[in-house]
Homo-oligomer: A and B are copies of this chain.
């Protein structure tokens, strides 16, 4: 796999045609947001795999390969737990206004197909009732549909990652892409908000670090013992199962022409990427869900090409988790304070230069 390289931006939007927008509110009791992935044209072929024990989802049954509709116009990832599913309504409205969706009648008579999933971040800004709604979903749509949605793709404490916490550290949004030797692009965006830890508690190293590409991150080594002890103490105090609810979400995408069933397989492989970067994951207190999108711009892969794509996809998800943790910044609200990996493990970086 030494011939793998990231795409131009090393994010999800390296899959041509995809656009991503974030909207969030911070302060006045808020610490939450919504991220929208917009498919190009009449949509992308979609798949999903739900592996967490406490999911909050919408339009996932439609993505069963046995069912009718093949293409989705957008995927919504959002804070707000089950309440946050309302953010999808705002995206549906915007798409309907634009006349984009599954055609069911005459001109403009469409049903926008917008699968979505939520992370648990209720109350992290101090107000249990401050959670994404249709208006915030529409704002995320607007951010994606406007020029700003294309690139660069913001990562860290933005969109659905605004209130994200993982193993006691501040989580967030991360993304990564890979261009395969045959020119196919595969990319992932993750919202890292987990009961489990992204850190190897024995060494302080990010679990996913062994999967990053050469030169991709500015981590220079393992943190020293003092950092590790302090972080371990903090994590032990925070990350008590039963007192924490979470969920990590991801969107995988490729320009290879995949069937709906292959998209489901791609989503499933994405969970292996989560397992390598978060431990434990898929718990009963997480609703971990991975979506997969195929823009079908390129040819359908033969079995070996599909194998190579799947293998790289797992890596993209692990790397997206690493990028999320490295992009996150420490956050304090009336409900708590969460340190970033950078602030918790400064000696892993040694200097403040960014790679």
Residues of A within 8 A of B (CB): 1, 51, 53, 195-196, 200-203, 210, 241-242, 265, 268-269, 271-273, 275-276, 279-285, 303-304, 306-308, 310-311, 314
Identical copies of this chain, number: 2
Give the residue of B201, B269, B273, B280 whose beta carbon is less than 8 angstroms from that of A311.
B280
Across the interface, name the chain B residue whose C-beta is closest to A285. B307
> Cα distance A271–B314 when bound, in Å?
14
> Cα distance A201–B269 when bound, in Å?
20
Q: Does A310 contact B284, Cβ atoms closer than 8 Å?
A: yes
Determine how close the nearest CB of chain B comes to the CB of A69; give it in whole angstroms. 24
Give the residue of B210, B281, B307 whose beta carbon is less than 8 angstroms from that of A242.
B307
Contacts of A203 in B (CB 8 A): 210
A210-B200, A280-B310 given as contacts; is B285 within 8 A of A53 (CB)?
Answer: no
Determine how close the nearest CB of chain B comes to the CB of A271; give it in whole angstroms. 8
Report which residue of A269, A280, A285, A314 has the largest number of chain B beta carbons within 10 angstroms of its beta carbon. Answer: A280
Q: Does B279 contact A307, Cβ atoms closer than 8 Å?
A: no
Contacts of A281 in B (CB 8 A): 272
> Cα distance A116–B268 when bound, in Å?
23
Across the interface, name the chain B residue whose C-beta is closest to A308. B241
Contacts of A276 in B (CB 8 A): 275-276, 279
